Structures are given as structure tokens and as C-alpha cells.
Amino acid sequence: MRPMVWIAVLLVALAGCNVSPFDLNHQGGGDDTRDGGGDDDDGGTGIDADVCVATGLDNTCNELDDDCSGTVDDPFDKTMDPANCGTCGNRCMSPNAVVTCEGGACELQGCLPGFVDLDGAAGCEYLCPVFPPGVEDCNGVDEDCDGLIDEPADLPPPPTGLCRGTAGTPCAGTAMICATRGAVTTWYCDYDPAVEFDPSIPNGILLHEQACDGADGDCDGVADDEFTDLGQICDNGADGVCRDLGVRTCDPADETQTTCDLGVLPDAGTMTTESCNGLDDDCNGGIDEDPGIDATMPVVVAGTTISVDVFEASHPDATASVIGVATNRACSNPGVLPWRGATFAVATAACAAAGKRLCTAAEWRRACEGGSPATTFPYGDGFDDDACNAEAFDGVPGGADDDVLLATGARPMCVADDGLFDLSGNLKEWTDEITGETGGGVDIAVLRGGAYDTPDLGATCAFRSSRAAVDTVLPTIGFRCCKTGLP
């Protein structure tokens, strides 16, 4: 640099510090007060250390008096400057907020539109889901921008009239609640757990009940009405006495169906050998079907073996005190009341159902008289008023003479040679012997053996004068079955 130019620059710099350009030692012709009246502290440089050296304009906040004006950072008001609040570089900034500098300190003035301060820390960290904020409603959205969603205190009253509230059903008194179901928040009916409904629909009661649970799931006033077989009789699928009856009830293991509750009475019986009682004792689907279930005895008539029932015919369900009503076949059972009042046709059909027929006159007489020699009565030739249940026998001990029907085989002495009972007395028995017809054309058949009210003469094995039209119904008439060959 040229000497003159350098001098000019120096003069300008010195002028900025009010220093004489010609007094390089700062003597100024007088006392130097800059060093406190003592020796200059120039460190041996010849320049006073307290002398301000201007570096340029004071337009940068750096805590320095760049222009040696006597004021540090004089263009900057650090009490109000948000970029240099209180000190250089301290910027008043906060997320989503308006911040000012007041007295050298940053002050939060408020949040930007759409933001709020929820945590109390610097800034407005919460973005309002809805802008401008509004009234809270049940929709899973924070309309009032308070950081809470669907809080009960801010919700409006729930809608009315949308829920089924049938009195006397689980729906009675149902109101709506604000809830989230299936990721959708809205007003839903708060139904009782017994109500069957689609939770994704505000009033989603199912059109048809799907649960058999004893509750009125669709609130129509009828519980489990879709399960139409409830209460119906059912069974375990077995036959005969093994069949256990039950009733259809809701299945506790699967509420979508019913089940047969076999716990109700009566319970199933036990499988036994088939007997003639109107029951399927062996549980094979047949009733009284087995050969040999009747008490029979072989009797030889004119060289032919005939199976004759040991006892007068009885109803399959007869007991010692009840005659019975089952008519599926005739039985030959001891100790039961015999079948009385049967017509000739009924007796014939009952024997046929048992695989037999009515006895012929010859068969019946041979069975009563026994072998050789033949007897007048089943038990012998002389009448014994205590042997069989004829008119002379008192059927009810004590008091007057009572002529009543007795159970089969009740008089053990009234037995023929072949072990056949009650061929004399108790009930008159149809035979297949037809001896003519009535004036109206109805056949007349012979009745054998006499009844409980028959005198001794009519109770003999040979007596055949007792006859009746085949359609006759009398309480003193019964029958007995026979069969050619063995049972």
C-alpha cells in the first residue's frame, strides 16, 4: 500500500476513537485519565489497553460494542427482541405457538389456530382433530379439542326411540350408550346379555333367535320360538322296554340346537326274555312274538297232538286285579284275570294273533276229561264245590256266597290230568262248534265248562247245552286257544 493511503486509513480509524492522529502515544498534551492517573498500562506496546478499537458497524448482536459507541449492541433491544431476548441469540420460539419477548424473557402468548397446550410444557403440542372446535358428540372424535374423546360429561343426551324396549322381555328399559363396536364409535342400544343382537348395528336385534337358552333373545314375547321341537316327546332310539322316553330341551352343550332330555320319568326298563304281556321285553321291535311264551300243554286227540293253553285266555296287560285292555293277542298266563266279554269273532282273532285258534269241541272235551278213563269234572267224577270256581264256591271268603271272577289258576284243585286249569267254572269258553243260527241269521256257538255262577251240572266236561249267538257279549264268557302240533 502507498504511504499516503495508509496514513489516510489510520487517520479515519483514530478519529473513530477520538484519538489524535499525530499523538501515537495518546499523550494529548495533558494528563491521561484513561489509565486511572497512573502509568499507562500499555504492556510495553505504547497503546493503552482501555482504548476502544472500532471494528465496524454495531449491527450484529454479539455482546460487543463493535462501533465503539459506548453501548453494546446498541441497535438491539434485548428486552423486547424475540430473536435476542435477554441475550444474543436467545430466540423466543415454541412449536405451534405465538411467543413474544417481555422484559428480556420469552412469554407464550397463545397457540396457533388448531393447536392447544395440554401438557403445560412449552409449546402447543396437540393438533385439534376438528377445526374450528365444536360440541362433543359420540363418534370417536375429540370435537372440543380438550384431548378427551366422547367424555360423558360433554356428550349430548343419547337418541331415543331407536332401541326395542318390549315390556316383559330382556329388552325392557333399554337405552343407548356411547360405545365402540367393531372399530365404529356411535350410539348403541345397551341390551341385556340375554338379547341376541348384532353389535355392529345400533338396533341390531336378530330377526330370528339363534340361541336356545330359555331367554326371549329377540324380545318378541316368546322365548326360543325358533326351536319348534321344544317340549316334544323324544326317546333314546331303542325298542320295547329299552326305549327311554324324554322331552326335547335346549342343549346345554350347544345352544344352537335342542337335545332329548332322558332324565324325565319313566326311565327305560331292562331287557329280559320275551313273555306274553303286551311288551317288547327283548327290545327287538316285536311284541309277544316269540314262540313258547304262552303256557301250553300237549294233548293227544284222536292220535293228533294238540297244544292247549294251560289257562283261560287273558289280555296281555292283565294283572291279578285288572282285566287289561290290550287286544294285540291272547295270552295264557297264570295269576291274572281272564279276558271276559269277548265275542266269538274277537276271541277268534285274539287266538289267531297268537298263532293259534279256538279249540274244537273234541279238543276242548278231551282236555277237560283227561285220558282214559275220562272224568266228569277236570279233577274227577264227583262234584267238589270247593275245587273250581263254580256257583257253589264262595269267591269272597266270609259272609254270603259271592260269585265273582277269579284270577287264572286261582283254584289249584281245578286242574285236569294234563295240567290244564279252570276248564270247569270261572268263565264259559267259546269253542269253534257252531250249532245253528238265530232268526236273524247269526251263528250260534257252543260254550263249554260253565262260569263262576254256573251250577254243578253245567260245569261238567260233557255239558254242551250252553250256547250263544257269536255276537254275544257277556261278562261270564271267555275263551281258550289251541294249536295243532307243539308250540
Per-residue pLDDT, 48: 55
Higher-pLDDT residue of 376 and 29 is 376
Look at residue 22 and tell me whether its pLDDT is greater than 80: no
Question: What pLDDT digit, counting tens, does each position of 75-86 carry?
Answer: 899 999 999 999
Per-residue pLDDT, 13: 40
* Mean pLDDT for the stretch of residues 175-200: 89
Per-residue pLDDT, 474: 97
Look at residue 259 and tell me whether its pLDDT is greater than 90: yes
Look at residue 201 and tell me whether its pLDDT is greater than 80: no
The pLDDT > 70 percentage for the chain reads 90
Per-residue pLDDT, 49: 56
* Mean pLDDT for the stretch of residues 381-403: 94
From CA 453, how far away is CA 264, in angstroms rounded? 47
Per-residue pLDDT, 208: 86
Q: What is the mean pLDDT of the chain?
A: 88
pLDDT band at 6 (very low <50, low <70, confident <90, very high): very low
Higher-pLDDT residue of 34 and 322 is 322
Look at residue 420 and tell me whether its pLDDT is greater than 70: yes
Q: Which of 162, 165, 170 is nearest to 222 (CA)?
A: 170
Look at residue 29 and tell me whether its pLDDT is greater than 80: no
Look at residue 430 and tell me whether its pLDDT is greater than 60: yes
CATH class of 287-487: alpha beta
* Mean pLDDT for the stretch of residues 414-435: 97
pTM comes to 0.58
Question: What pLDDT digit, counting tens, does each position of 372-390 carry?
Answer: 899 999 999 999 999 999 9
- What are the boundaries of each domain within the chain? 1-41, 287-487
* Mean pLDDT for the stretch of residues 283-306: 93
Per-residue pLDDT, 123: 85
Please list the residues that pair with 107 across neighbouring strands: 100
pLDDT band at 44 (very low <50, low <70, confident <90, very high): low
From CA 388, how far away is CA 376, in angstroms rounded? 13
Per-residue pLDDT, 30: 42
**How large is the C-alpha radius of gyration of the chain?**
63
